[in-house]
Amino acid sequence: MTSTGNPLAIYLHIPFCHIKCTYCAFNTYTNLDHLVEPFVRALIREIEFSAASKPGQHAGTVFFGGGTPTVLSPEQYARIMNALRRGFYLQDDAEVSLEVNPSDVTQAYLTALRDVGFTRISIGMQSAIESELRMFNRRHDNDSVVRAVSAARRAGFDNLNLDVIYGIPHQTLDNWDATLRQMLALKPDHVSLYALTLEDETSMKAWVEKGRLPAPDDDLAADMYDMATDQLGGAGYGQYEISNWAKPGRECRHNLQYWRSLPYIGLGPGAHGFADGVRYSVILSPHRYIKTLEEASESPGVYPRTPVTAEATLLRPADEMVEVLLMGLRLTQEGIHRETFRQRFGVDVLEAHGDVIRKYADHGLLHVDDSYVRITHAGRLLSSMIFRELV
Ligand code: SF4
């Protein structure tokens, strides 16, 4: 267990991709296939450093994200999982997730991952419309999503997420409706819907700035969000976070750890972690990450730091409070439990941030009662404005 009494969540970042998608600003690199095996060895060393700096920790979730985690073989995952089991008490019912590119997976690959201990698959569907997938420079088509879902089910995965994106240039409500219907026809256990954001240094942003693509239309995106909310609710999915819906009991435990501001460690180039009040990030460059771990001395760092920690900040309680608010308000059903907040910080959330909370409650964007502060349906569409003001 951690100092909060909660098991740890462990995120591992796999920083390789076959090609760069036009909207993507994640820390990923193409044409580094020759670094995959040295990276796996380095990641195992980082796991060992992290575990040695605070022995005996329990972990309830493990999440491999990227990047494209499917560039690693089942044998490489077996070695990484063994290192995690040596270093941490991985709970028997641990949720172990992998992000999957639909065109990369076969039933044999996914069956091997099940044998290694994976319990949950997250498939990057993104859209059912071929022209939108081409605009994103995605390598897959709609048929490969269907095949990936079928392969995952046959491999025994009963916890499957689909990611899709809305608010895409040129996307119409009819196109979005088609993507939603196709997504629901695949019967995922969980869905994540992301509004497209134009990130710096992406092709998509450059095209919009040069006028080659129209800018995303916020009003249309809001209509798409409403349409999705209706369809998902009608299909039996419960919304539990601004961008996430699940069948009962299929909420993503790993991401809930983030939204509840509970401890997690991040391993791999560019990963972030938050544990023992310290927020930290790992160095970005895979080359430097590997070299640093190859040359690191045996002595563990001061938890949660490792030899590849780039930055670490001990959060002041006031900063941690804001973090808890920003993350907790994303949880549409849970929200902020006022008593839990008071126990954590010794102050009621309305004493700490009453001005902003009361203002948005008066506008109908937040709901406050004796026990909780929650975001309303109207507030979900304007959450970034509320979050900016809290910061
Ligand atoms: S596959 Fe994922 S991580 Fe890789 S470039 Fe595309 S969106 Fe980014």
Confidence of residue 4 (pLDDT cuts 50, 70, 90): low
Q: How far is the CA of 225 from the centre of ligand 1 (A)?
A: 23
pLDDT single digits (tens) 93-125? 999 999 999 999 999 999 999 999 999 999 999
Nearest atom in ligand 1 to the alpha carbon of residue 66 is 3
For the cut 70, the answer to whether the pLDDT of residue 3 exceeds it is no
Tokens representing 282 are: 């790992």
The mean-pLDDT minimum among 126-140, 202-216, 259-273, 296-310 falls in 296-310
What mean pLDDT do residues 45-58 have? 96
Q: Which of 21, 122, 125, 284 to mutate to test the pocket of ligand 1 (most atoms within 8 A of CB)?
A: 21
Q: Whose CA is closest to atom 3 on ligand 1?
A: 67
Q: pLDDT-based confidence at 298, cuts 50/70/90?
A: confident
Q: Nearest to residue 316, comparing CAs of 338, 356, 345, 282?
A: 345
What's the residue count for the chain? 391
Mean pLDDT on 165-179: 97
pLDDT class of 297 with cuts at 50, 70, 90:
confident
Q: Is the pLDDT of residue 300 over 80?
A: no
| Averaged pLDDT for residues 199-219 | 94
Determine phi and psi for 280, rounding to 5 degrees: -145, 165
Ligand 1 pocket, residues with Cβ under 6 angstroms: 17, 20-21, 24, 26, 28, 66-68, 101
Instruction: Among 19, 22, 24, say which to mutate for ligand 1: greatest number of ligand atoms within 8 Å of CB.
Output: 24
pLDDT digits 0-9 by tens, 351-363? 999 999 999 999 9
Ligand 1 centroid to residue 324 C-alpha, Å: 28
Sheet holding 336-337, edge to edge: 336-337, 372-375, 366-368
**CA 297-298-301 angle, 5° bins:** 90
Domains of the chain with bracketed CATH? 8-259 (3.20.20.70), 317-390 (1.10.10.920)
